[in-house]
Each structure stands twice: as C-alpha cells, then as structure tokens.
Structure 1
Amino acid sequence: MDLEDKKTRFFISLLLTFIGGVVFTLLTIPIPWLLGPMTAVLIGSRFRAIKVYWPIQIRDAGLIILGYSIGLSFTKEAVILIAGKLPLMLLLTVVLISFCAGIAFFVSKLSGVDYPTILVGSIPGGLSQMITFSEEMKGINMTIVTFLQVTRVIMIIFLVPFLIYGPFFKNTSAQSTLELTNKAVQAPFSLTILLFAVVCVICAFLGKKLKSPTPFLLGPITGAAILTLSGLHGPEIPNFMLDLSQFMIGAYIGLLLKPEKLQHKTKILTLAIISGLVMVLFSVGLSMLLVHYYEITPSTSILSLSPGGADQMAILAHEVHADLAMVTGFQLFRLIFIFFAVPPVLKFIFKKKRLKQKEKPI
C-alpha cells in the first residue's frame, strides 16, 4: 500500500467514522462517538469497494488523552480506597479468569477447535496481550484467537452501555472517589497542562519500550497519577476532547474484526457470541456482590468487573459518571495480573499437554 493509497483509504475511513458518530448521536445511542465510528468502519470494511485504513498512531493518541483523564482521578483518597480493596480485586480476578477458562473448555468441545486456542481467545481484558502471546506459542490458531477476543470486546462495548443506562444500574450512592476529587482536578488551563502532556507522552513511550500492557493507556495514567499525587492539579478534559478520543479509538476497534479470514465462520461466531453473553451475565452477578457488600454504585461495580478492555470501560465510566478511579483500578489490576501471571501458567499447561501427547503410544 503506497502513500497515496493510504491517504485515500484514510479519508474514506474518516468520512465513515464521522457519519457513524453523527448518526449514533442523532439516534441518542450511548457513547455515540465510540460505537458510531466502530459500527461504521465495521460495516464499511465488509464491502470490497470500500477500502479502509486507520493508523494505529491515531488510536494511540486517543488512548493518551483518555489515560491523562483517568490519571487525574488517582488522588490520595482514591488510592487509599483502592489499596484497601486489593485482596478483593485478586479474588474476583481469579474467579473471573477461572470461569472464562471453564467456558473455553465447553466452547472447545462444541467447536472442535483445540482447547489452548480457545483458552487464549477467552482470557478477558488482555486483547493485544493475548494476540501477541498467541504469536509466540506454537500450535495456536492466531486468527481464531483474534476473532474471539475482538468479538467479545465488541459485544461488551455494545451490551454494557445499554445495561448501564437501564433501570438497574443507576448511580445511587452518596459519593464516589471521583466526586471526592472533582475540586482537585478542576484547574484553569495553564502551563500545567504542558507539563502533564509531556509527562504523559514520555510515560507512554517508556511503557512501550518496557513492553508494559497497553502502554499508551497505562503510561499516561501512571504519569498523570504521579503528578496528581505530588500535589499538581491538571485541568479537566473538556467533553469534546473525550468525544475525540472515543472517535480515535472506536474506528480502530471496528477494523480489528475480520471474519473473512476465519474458517467455519457461523459455528465459531455463534459460540463466540454465546460465550460472550455468558461472561457478561457472570460479571453482572459478581458485580451484585460488590454492590451488596461494599458502598459501590451498580454502574461502577459492573464496569469494574466487565470482561472488556480498560480503555473502553473507562470511556463508559466517564459517560455515566461512575467512579473512574475504582473502575480503572479493577480493570488495570486484572490487566496487570493477566500480563504477569497468565502467560507462565498457560505455557506450563501447554508444555504439559505436549509432553502427554508425546507419551501416547503410536
């Protein structure tokens, strides 16, 4: 693809995403500037006459904006509240991942696809990480892993907003960590924003160099959080900038799903949708335990435990005024846990399985 071809495809994609955002805004659909561009690009890319292209750098820039906004919510009060829930985060993370591993077993039996491939495709919250992991492991079908991961993420991005905006998940508690910090993060625009911007960008690229999970989100969150905890107060992101970050991220997500590269499309798509629904229902059940035993709003609870990505759940938390620090804390804890704990365990399981296959008599 030459430079002129890229420019043409990008212009077409830009037009599609803008139309999608406008249409979803007019239809009053939740988070229109994420769902609209994502849907428009997803549908448009299915037509051979429409050639789409969305540079990953634009997605990364959107993540940096979002990461800065999230980092502002990590004040001392918020960090103390989150630190007190670390044992709970560990317990719920292990329960959720174990449940997903169980679902993967049944999907493997029903689809005829080997268990390691389905298992890697079913691990929640580590989209790019699991795709990278599947590239490193021999015998794993990367196309199926990508399809399962992306299908789940897209389903959750569509389903969760309607659950959150429904009658059962209203914000009803008195005060959240984000509400406690509103005064702290609201500061006039000044040279402070330049300091935050430089630190966020440096942390993003440093995170990429260190191969951290989701570096263009986690890096800016870390940088902005450190500055906030040190006593500096960055200006709050205006709504149009948050819409812009959703626009930049949504289009990229829409391009990830490529069913034309998949064999047995109907069977695997059906099983992917069913397993995604079961995961969502299970996470809703877990979230009700959080609501019952802790002073956490239903919307904060379900977004904290939803098996989606940290960036998408943070966008939703912004939209419904959920506890942004708590949601991000739970999501990032699971992401970091998956990053450090899951690959070694999976490698051990796959190594054991290969040894058993070698020991079988011919």
Structure 2
Amino acid sequence: MKDSNVVPVPVKFGVTLATALAGGGLFMLLGLPIPWLLGPMIATLIGANLRKQYYAWPGPLRNSGMIIVGYTIGLSLTAPALKEMAGQLPSMLLMTGLLLLFCAGIAAIVSKISGMNYKTVLLGSIPGGLTQMVMLAEETEDVNLTVVTVIQVVRLMMIIICVPLLIFSPAFGQTSGAAGVAPLITEVSSSWSGLYPNFFIYAAACTFCAIAGQKVKFPTAYLLGPALITSVLQISGLSGPALPGLLLNAAQLMIGIFVGMLLNPRKLNNKLVTLSLAVGSGVVLIGGAYLMSLLFAYFDAVSLSTALLSLAPGGMDQMSLIAHEVGADLPTVAGFQLFRTFFIFFAVPPLFKLIFREKKREASASG
C-alpha cells in the first residue's frame, strides 16, 4: 500500500501498538533500564520510518500517559517536599541560567561550523518543551522549522536513551535491568483494589485540570495540570492512592510511542550534516549537564542520580519517570524540571524576540 489513506486507522493503531509492545518486551527480556519507555520509543521510531503508512498514534493516548505521570509527580509534591524546594530556588535559578548559557554557546559553535542560521540552531538547542520551541520557531523570521524540530527531537531522544544508561552504570551505583527495577515497582505501586474510592476523584480532577490548562495555553498542561491539582488535593488532606505497576508501564508506553514517532529524517535536506550536528551537540549538552550535576551534588548534598536527572535537559515527564524507577529524590527532580519549564516558557520567548529584534535593527542600521 503506497497511499497512507488506504490503510485503515484501526490497522495502523494495531501495528503501532504491537510494535511498541514487542519493543518493550524485548527491552524487558534484555534487562535494559526503563524498558516500557525506551523499548516502544526505539521500536516505533524504526518502524514508522520504514513503513510510515502503517503507523499512527492518537494524541489523546499520549495525553493520557502524561496525565498518569503528572499524577505520580503530584503525589511526591507534599508540603515538606515543597518547603524543601522553596529553599532550593537560588540553586534552581543558577543552574538553569548556566544551562541556558551553555546551550547558547553550543548553538554559536554549531552555527559557525554548519553555516546554518544562528536563530534556527539556538531554538533547536534550548531545552524547553518541544511544542513550545516549535511554536516559537513558527513565530520567528528566518528560522528553519524542520531543523529546529529535528534538533529538539534528537536531543530529547539522546537524553532519554543516554541518561538511563548513565544512571544505571557503575559510576552511579545503580543496578541495571529488571532485577534492579522490580523491587522499586513493588514498593511504589499498589493493588487495583487500593485505588478505590479516591482514585475517581483524582482522575476527574487531573483530567479537568489537564484540559483546562491546555485551553489557557499552560506549559505542558497535560503534565503540570494533574501534578499541581494532585499536590493541592493531597496537601488538603485527600489521600492519593499509589498506582499499580501496570498503569505506570502503560503510561511509559503511551509516551514512548509518541516520542518515537516524532522524528522523520526524510524531511531533511542535508540529513547527514544536520543529524551529525544534532547528535554532536546533544553529546556535548549531556556532558555539560553531567559536569554541572557534579557541582550540584557536591554543594547541595544530593545523590548524583538526583542531580543529573534534575539538570538533564529532557522533558519533565521522562526525567521524572526515570527518577521514579531509580529511587532518586523525585520532588527535587520534578522541582528543578518544573522551574526550568516555567522559566523557559515565561522568560525565554520574550528575551529571544527582544534580542532578535535588536539584532535586526542593528543590521538594518549598518546596511
């Protein structure tokens, strides 16, 4: 079938789900870390680029996975945890500022090497939400939207793949594979019967806040909306039940499929050059985040895994999932990721527009 419209939607969905389950199962058998996030992501990335006409994944399913992860994050945002996070605001501001300056430096180097527009490389390098950076790229003149998307997706996928491997490496003292993950899943998950009756209240509240947040253009609304309302309800005295491991794995699978299907190398003109630069800048960015995490761990007396996951320029959902799996300090990880998300959402776009506008005026004046 050459025409993608010929393939029925249920068939596409079935092929996508089967591919993702096969990938997750394979990663589980191999004892690789975060199998139900990485396995589906890599499997669907390969499948969708080989036979794109057979693959489709509804947005609401990805959003459902985000809501589940947001709820899990919210459970960790207790009153003592939030108080501790408030005391870390100076560290959050410092580390976020250093990370953004580091990204700007990488973008300048990549732009000179490749000859690509600095605006394009910069918007591709900033570790904000993928959707947000793409929207900003659409509103900015002289920006290659495809390149921005590819750099963002490649960086995100490298972080999702490399950070778990680093965390589970001997340097971090984590045990790799299912044997290291299973005890933690048993500890944090509950039986299905333990969900009632508060689960329905939380499910309704999380869904409502996710949709409402999306309507008012709240950053990563399907993640932050549930996280915030869960924290509020829990602090107010309504106990939130821990989720069964099956639901947590399903959430990882739904998000993994979505991320895996984002990258389409066929839309690139200079595929090899762009992908090579994206991978290279991603490696440098991960290295920089690792070095900053060493400083953070030393000065703030947190574990190295907590420090790296807090500073890793990936999505808050993926970093929180990994923190959940390895037993890192989830409130600290979520707090740093949340702070960077809001900082980039509110401060970076106006700042970029101001800088680009001034540069345009200077160029016009000199011309």
* Preserved CA contact (<8 Å) 1:131 1:145: yes
Q: How does 1:287-326 map to 2 (within 5 A)?
A: 287-326=293-332
* Preserved CA contact (<8 Å) 1:170 1:298: no
Aligned position for 1:198: 204
* Preserved CA contact (<8 Å) 2:306 2:328: yes
Matched, 1:348 2:354: yes
Aligned position for 1:70: 73
Matches of 2:120 and 2:171 in 1, distance apart?
36
The gaps in structure 1 that reach 5 residues or longer are 172-178
Residue deviations 1:312-347 (CA, integer Å, cap 9, x gap) = 101101110111111011001000000000000100
Amino acid at match of 2:74: G
Q: How does 1:92-103 map to 2 (within 5 A)?
A: 92-103=95-106
Matched, 1:46 2:49: yes
Aligned position for 2:335: 329
Aligned position for 1:175: none
The gaps in structure 2 that reach 5 residues or longer are 175-183
Amino acid at match of 1:346: F
Aligned position for 1:283: 289
Q: Alignment identity in percent?
A: 46
Residue deviations 1:118-163 (CA, integer Å, cap 9, x gap) = 0000001321110111111122111000000000000000000010
Q: How does 1:174-185 map to 2 (within 5 A)?
A: none
Amino acid at match of 1:86: L
Aligned with 2:10 (options 7, 11, 15): 7
Matched, 1:86 2:89: yes
* Preserved CA contact (<8 Å) 1:170 1:297: no
Give the CA deviation at 1:249.
0.3
TM-score, normalized by length of structure 2?
0.92
The root-mean-square deviation of aligned C-alpha atoms, in Å, is: 2.0
* Preserved CA contact (<8 Å) 1:283 1:307: yes
Aligned with 2:161 (options 158, 161, 164): 158
Aligned position for 1:258: 264
> Once structures 1 and 2 are overlaid, which stretch shifts more, 290-299 or 68-77?
290-299
Aligned position for 2:250: 244
Aligned position for 1:228: 234
Distance 1:235 1:3, change over 3 A: farther
* Preserved CA contact (<8 Å) 2:7 2:53: no
* Preserved CA contact (<8 Å) 2:7 2:54: no
Q: How does 1:25-44 map to 2 (within 5 A)?
A: 25-44=28-47
Q: How does 1:93-172 map to 2 (within 5 A)?
A: 93-170=96-173
Matches of 1:189 and 1:21 in 2, distance apart?
26
TM-score, normalized by length of structure 1?
0.93
Distance 1:99 1:49, change over 3 A: closer
Aligned position for 2:181: none
* Preserved CA contact (<8 Å) 1:200 1:224: yes
SS in 2 for 1:45: helix
Give the CA deviation at 1:6.
2.1
Give the CA deviation at 1:357.
2.7
* Preserved CA contact (<8 Å) 1:125 1:310: no
Give the CA deviation at 1:189.
2.7
Give the CA deviation at 1:2.
5.8
* Preserved CA contact (<8 Å) 2:195 2:243: no
Matched, 1:219 2:222: no
Matches of 2:6 and 2:85 in 1, distance apart?
47
* Preserved CA contact (<8 Å) 1:170 1:299: no
Matches of 1:353 and 1:313 in 2, distance apart?
35
SS in 2 for 1:12: helix
Residue deviations 1:201-246 (CA, integer Å, cap 9, x gap) = 1110111011011000000001101011112211111211111000
Aligned with 1:18 (options 21, 29, 41): 21
Q: How many residues align?
A: 352
